[in-house]
């Protein structure tokens, strides 16, 4: 048996065998074996996504091919931004995650690494734009009821102080 070496350019390897019999007579022969470069698989991680809100499910979809074999595996990882936690389906072409809460608009970066049936790998990344969580109240007035008495006031800042008279 023979395991071909990994090569960076196509090569022809020549092997010579010499056989000697019991009487000392010899014979020889050669064989040439062509070793070709294992082409890298091609991979696309999909188009960048933006306007994603916290808590939304984000779908990742890679496409890959291998001109001299088959795609054997996919591996999705997050390489930048606030952690999104678990990537569901991280070892398949199609994966997903739940967008994390971020305090300012942020780009999360995900990478997919594809391996072919001969061990060659290639990768691609995708940017996911996540919007900052809103910190402003979506109301202009508040009503507080204490012991049957209503107190109403206008919200003018994010810090609200309510003074309740007792007496």
Between strands 57-61 and 141-146, the pairing is: unpaired
Residue 36: predicted pLDDT: 87
| DSSP per position, the chain | ---PPP-SS-EEEEEEEEEE-TTS-EEEEEEEEEE---PPPEEE----EEEEPTT-EEEEE-EEE-TTS-EEEEEEEEEESS-----BTTTSSEEEEEPPP-SS-EEEEEEEEEEETTS-EEEEEEEEEEPPPP-S-S-SEEEEEETTEEEEEE--SS---------
pTM greater than 0.95 (yes/no):
no
Name the phi and psi angles at 155, rounded to 5. Answer: -85, 120
Q: What angle do CA 71, 73, 77 make, to 5 degrees?
A: 130
- How far is Cα 140 from Cα 155, in angstroms, rounded to an integer? 6
Residue 111: predicted pLDDT: 98
Residue 137: predicted pLDDT: 44
Which residues have CB under 8 Å from 24's CB, separation 6+?
none
Q: Are 94 and 61 in contact (CB under 8 A)?
A: yes
Task: State the residue for tokens 């000392």.
Answer: 24
Q: Could you read off the pLDDT tens digit of each residue along the chain, which spans 167 residues?
A: 888 888 888 999 999 999 999 999 999 999 999 998 889 999 999 999 999 999 999 999 999 999 999 999 999 999 999 999 999 999 999 999 999 999 999 999 999 999 999 999 999 999 999 999 875 544 455 555 666 666 665 554 445 555 555 65
β-strand partners of 109: 80, 127
User: For residue 157, which of 147, 143, 142 has the smallest C-alpha distance?
Assistant: 142
């Amino acid at each position: 048996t023979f395991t071909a070496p990994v090569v960076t350019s196509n090569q022809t390897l020549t092997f010579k065998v010499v056989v000697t019999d019991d009487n000392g007579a010899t014979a020889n022969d050669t064989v040439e074996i062509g070793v070709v470069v294992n082409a890298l698989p091609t991979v696309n991680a999909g188009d960048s996504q933006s306007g994603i809100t916290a808590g939304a499910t984000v779908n990742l979809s890679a496409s890959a091919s291998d001109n001299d074999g088959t795609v054997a595996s996919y591996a999705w990882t997050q390489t930048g931004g606030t952690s999104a936690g678990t990537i569901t389906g991280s070892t398949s072409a199609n994966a997903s995650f739940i967008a994390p809460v971020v305090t300012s608009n942020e780009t999360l970066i995900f990478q997919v690494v594809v391996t072919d049936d001969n061990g060659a790998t290639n990768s691609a990344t995708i940017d996911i734009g996540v919007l900052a969580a809103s910190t402003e109240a979506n109301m202009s007035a508040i009503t507080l009821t204490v012991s049957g008495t209503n107190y109403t006031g206008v919200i003018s800042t994010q810090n609200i102080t309510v003074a309740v008279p007792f007496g």
